[in-house]
Each structure stands twice: as structure tokens, then as C-alpha cells.
Amino acid sequence: MKNPGFGFFTALFVPRSWNGDTMTIGKSTKLNNVRYDIRGPIADEADRLEREGTHIIRLNTGNPAAFGAKIPLSIIESLSENAKTAAAYSNSKGLYKAREAIAGYYTTRGIADITADDVYTGNGVSELIQLSLMAFLNPGDEVLIPTPDYPLWTAATILSGGKAVHYICDEQANWYPDIADISHKITPRTRAIVLISPNNPTGAVYPRDVVEQIAEIARKHKLVVFSDEVYDRVIIDNLEHVSMAAIAPDLLTLVFNGLSKSHNLCGYRVGWMALCGDKSGASEYISGINLLVSLRLCANVTGQSIICAALDDFKNTQASLKPGGWIYDRRECMYKALTSIPGISAVKPSAALYIFPKIDTAMYNIKDDEQFVLDFLREKHVLLTHGRTYNWKQPDHFRVTYIPTMEELLEVMDRFEDFLKGYRQI
Ligand code: PLP
């Protein structure tokens, strides 16, 4: 298209980047440093290879239904019962019955004084993470986020104008948060701390004393707690899940959860957020959240309509977590296979759907972990994610989900071992 050149006044409104025949449309500077590499350039390369006809085994996301994990029958029945009424918008905070069921779920988990009014439904937890940080942060506000993290927390903090300050989770200590490091990173600008337990990518479940020590820091420095508990029903080794909201009612804790992982329903996009604990000083923040949920009208109502049925039915998930169940058996199988490969070590995950193994970078001369997963993808057609995706600074980790079928899992491990035999980065 040519610059039509309509004279002086029109020229005033021609974008500065107009340059002869082409106009460059840049991205907003708000996106500088915002990354989400789980679906980033390496996944794009996997798409390209697949378009060329190569079958790729995708182990980059925790998406159980993609590997045939079953949906409980009660959910299917609830979907068909609600198909007609779910056609209308709901209240912006969500269907009352669903929010009441969520409040009931948390009451049974020891969270005091929670009602439907404290609960918001969302299009997955992802939407609510972004929305709650957007309503909360001012430019330069600091949020303490674990490293490794689930990277949406870092991305959404930056997108909301905040500063992500990473505290270390210590591999030598079961990947629990390093309490001294958290204390050390507090500044006058610190306003909140993010806790992800059970954790993605490490599979750690934080014990009571760790959660209590973090509560003490939050109390001392008046921090809001953002507690991501989307895997609280995907705990394998009979460990207790301790929610910050249950042990520290004097703090304001936002609890995030949903049905993606506990009911194999990632694609239905069902999430929620509960405002727990002391809300006495938070009325302005809550009005900000209310404004933002109303701007997106409501979360998808079909998804909301199955929440009551889902919270009544954990049978499938519970069975999958016991020996003989698909999650338990595949975790065992992948952990054993991975850690028998020379130069690979890992903390055995107790929950969630992933392992975050360490690779001996000296043995394989690895300087760039992104290049490592790209090379593996191109040579063996398996998609993993590299450690830096999770804001882990050293190039010595990667994440793999252990949810593929047993045949695929064993096939992937064979390919990985074979790949490493000849692999050295130049
Ligand atoms: N939080 C964690 C720790 C996750 O691992 C994920 C997805 O993998 C999410 C949040 C987002 O979940 P949802 O599907 O509810 O958006």
C-alpha cells in the first residue's frame, strides 16, 4: 500500500513508523520482559515440525486429557443437565451455587469464615492470576515469587507494572523455599509473596513448618499472600496439604484453584479465587477486583455449571494417585527411568504432574538449556521445556510431565538416553 499523501493535516496523523510502502506495528512496551516459554519459541518449532508431517510427543504442558485421561461421568451428566441454562451470562463473580460449593470446600479444609461472597470464578486460574495482580500492583511494587516458578506469576507481575523478585527454592532441601533468602529479599517496596504448593515445576508439597515460617514473614512485613493451590488434590504420597489461608487467618490470602488438574479438564477453563482471612483493610483492592471481573462480564458459564458436581466427586483423581493408578505408576516409571541415565538426577516429586531434573552440564557441555531442548526436539521429536522457562537462572534443569501413556513414556526415555549418548554442545 502506498502512502496516499493527503497533505499536511493528514500527515500529522500518519504513524511515525510509516516508512514508504510498509508500516511496522510494534508490540506494546508493557510486554518487554514478559515471557511464557512453555508455549514459546520451542513449542512454535514443534508446531512447524508437525506441519511438515513429523509426529511430536508433547511433554511441555500438564494436559492429562490430551493423553486420554478420563473425565468423571458425573461431569458429563452435569454438563448435559446444565447445557441450556448455561447459555446466559452469569453474575460477574460467578454462579452463586458454584461459589457456595467452593466456599464449602474450603470450610472443610479448615479455612474459617469463608462464604460465597469471597469467591470469584474465572476462565481458568490463569485469568484470575492476571486480574488479581492487575488490580493490586502499582509501578515498581515488588512481589516475591519462587524460582523455579510457574512462569505466569512472573509474567503477570511484570505486565501489571510490578517487579518480580525471585526467592530460591532449595533443591537440596526437597525444593522447599529458602526462608533466609525470602527475608533477605524484602525491601520497603515488597507488597506480596506468591506461594505455589503443591509446586509446579518441582512437585514439592510444603510442610506446615515451612508455611508457618512464611506466614511469620508476611505478618512482620504486612504482605498479601497469593497462594496457588491448583494441585491441592493431586498429591501422591499421602502428604498433608497446608493452605496458608487455614493457618494464618490474620493475613489476607488469595487462594487460587480450579478443575484443570484435579478433574483432567484443562480445556474447560474452570478456575476460582477465594479471598480469605483478614479483609478489613482491603475494601479498595476488592472494589478493584470487582471492577475488573465486571469488565470481562463473567467466566464461561458452561464451565462454572459443573463445579458443584466436580466438588462432589474426587473418586477418579484419588484412584489415580494410589499404587496401580495412572498418575502414581507413571511418576514411578519416569522417575526411575530418568534417574538411571548418567548425569541426570532429580528430587522425586510428591505431587502435581512434573519432574524438574538436574542435568550434569559439565558431562554434556551444556551452556544453553534452551538449545538443549531444541536439539532434543529436532533430533528425537519430543517437546520438553528448559529450566529458564521457570525463571531458573542456571542452564542445568528441564521440566518434563510424566502423564503420557506408559508406552509413550518408555519410548521417550529410550529416545532421551540415546540422544544424550552422543550429545555435547559446541
Ligand atoms: N498455576 C499453576 C501452578 C499451574 O501449573 C497452572 C497450569 O499448569 C495454572 C496455575 C493455570 O491453570 P488453569 O488451567 O486453571 O488456568
- Using most ligand atoms within 8 A of CB, pick from 202, 261, 268, 355 the residue to mutate for ligand 1: 261
pLDDT tens, N- to C-terminus, the chain (426 residues): 334 444 444 444 444 555 667 899 999 999 999 999 999 999 999 999 999 999 999 999 999 999 999 888 999 999 999 999 999 999 999 999 999 999 999 999 999 999 999 999 999 999 999 999 999 999 999 999 999 999 999 999 999 999 999 999 999 999 999 999 999 999 999 999 999 999 999 999 999 999 999 999 999 999 999 999 999 999 998 899 999 999 999 999 999 999 999 999 999 999 999 999 999 999 999 999 999 999 999 999 999 999 999 999 988 899 999 999 999 999 999 999 999 999 999 999 999 999 999 999 999 999 999 999 999 999 999 999 999 999 999 999 999 999 999 999 999 999 999 999 999 998
Q: Which fold has domain 73-313?
A: Aspartate Aminotransferase; domain 2 (3.40.640)
Centre of ligand 1 to C-alpha 125, Å, is 6
| Residues in a beta bridge with 345 | 358
CA of 127 from ligand 1 middle (Å) equals: 10
pTM over 0.75: yes
CA of 124 to the centre of ligand 1 (A): 7
* Domain layout of the chain by residue ranges: 37-61+322-421, 73-313
CATH of domain 37-61+322-421: 3.90.1150.10
Residue 282, Cβ neighbours under 10 Å: how many?
A: 17
Residue nearest atom 8 in ligand 1 by C-alpha distance: 62
| Residue 202 backbone zone (phi > 0: left; psi -120 to 50: alpha; other: beta) | alpha
Counting from 1 in the atom list of ligand 1, the atom nearest the Cα of 231 is 3
Calculate how far, in angstroms, residue 24's C-alpha sits from the geometric centre of ligand 1.
34
